[in-house]
Amino acid sequence: MAWPFPLRIWDLLDIFVVAFIVYQILMLIRGTRAVQLVTGLGLLFAAYVISRWLGLYTLQWLLSYVGLVVPIALLVLFQPELRRMLEQLGRGSVSLVGFTPHGLDREGAIRLVNDVARAARILGSRKIGALIVIERRTGLEDFIETGIRIDALVTVQLLINVFFPNTPLHDGAVIIRGNRLVAAGCLLPLSERPGLARPLGTRHRAALGLTEVADSIAVVVSEETGTISLAVEGRLERGLTEEELKVRLLALVGVPSVAGRGLHVPVVRVPALRVPRVPEFWRRRET
């Protein structure tokens, strides 16, 4: 059977250009919160199609008016992504690489949790403030761009070195993706929730603010008291020990078979680490 429409070389070029643009848009929003926004818009469109098919005229009328404001809403919601795309086009640095998963296997997750928990315990014993963020399903690329990219394997020594006082990257948060420390010195949104306890400093409010808008995990070490806290879904758990933090982190990163056996979490051996005592004049209150 002959093809009903004549196919020219320019038609193939047209299809290729459109596919390339759509691909670049997907690459642009990959790793950002825009993925959830796109999913929501897709659900609204699906609801509109179903309402037309089933003859739900009231729902169809309502969704048609929602569709009138969608173009303006897209410009507002996707402003950071659009700006980044234009900057990349201006620099001629449009990405041509594919999707790269950063999931961890069971052993990698246990190693990551042990490194983070042990680093938090050492930092807390020296009263060195820290804010460690572990990315999950919601991408944090917007916040990564506010810091300094490192892309190094997560180790206890690296985390302590980053947060050691008076080092260039000790302010701000570190963001971990998979088993890689992607960036340090990142700026996070502060929680504006009323009624937060006054003793909570900037790090705790930043941890709460991030976990209110993303499904990330934030580990906070207080510079004032050395207390270890865990922020998840806008809730803060304070006063955790190293073992308790391991159990909570293992459950959150998806290793329930280990987390469900009590506090005895398999430990990945790390060479002994000596941290010099921090002089008193280096200790600053959280602002």
Confidence grade of residue 73 (pLDDT, cut at 50, 70, 90): confident
pLDDT at 246: 93
What is the secondary structure of 12-39 as a DSSP string?
Answer: HHHHHHHHHHHHHHHHHHTTSTHHHHHH
pLDDT at 4: 61
Question: Which residues make Cβ contacts (< 8 Å) with residue 174, sequence separation at least 6?
Answer: 130, 131, 132, 133, 147, 159, 162, 163, 181, 183, 184, 186
Nearest Cα neighbor of 253 from 175, 162, 156, 177 is 177
Q: Which of 107-111, 145-149, 150-154, 193-197 has the weakest average pLDDT? A: 193-197
pLDDT at 240: 93
The C-alpha angle 107, 113, 115, rounded to 5 degrees, equals: 100
What's the CATH number for 106-269? 3.40.1700.10
Q: Which of 2-16, 112-126, 140-154 has the weakest average pLDDT? A: 2-16
- How far is residue 250's CA from residue 198's CA, in Å, rounded to a whole number? 30
Question: Which residues make Cβ contacts (< 8 Å) with residue 239, sequence separation at least 6?
Answer: 227, 228, 229
- Does 144 have pLDDT greater than 80? yes
Q: Is the pTM of this model over 0.85?
A: no
Give the pLDDT confidence of 166-180 residue by residue, as tens digits. 888 888 899 999 899
- Does 86 have pLDDT greater than 60? yes
Percentage of the residues of the chain whose pLDDT score is greater than 90: 29
pLDDT at 175: 95
270 vs 207, which has greater pLDDT? 207
31 vs 16, which has greater pLDDT? 16
**Region 212-224 average pLDDT:** 90
pLDDT at 137: 79
- How far is residue 29's CA from residue 38's CA, in Å, rounded to a whole number? 9
The C-alpha angle 89, 94, 98, rounded to 5 degrees, equals: 155
pLDDT at 35: 67
pLDDT at 102: 54
**Region 115-135 average pLDDT:** 94
- How far is residue 134's CA from residue 232's CA, in Å, rounded to a whole number? 10
**Range(s) of the chain covered by CATH 3.40.1700.10:** 106-269
Question: Which residues make Cβ contacts (< 8 Å) with residue 257, sequence separation at least 6?
Answer: 106
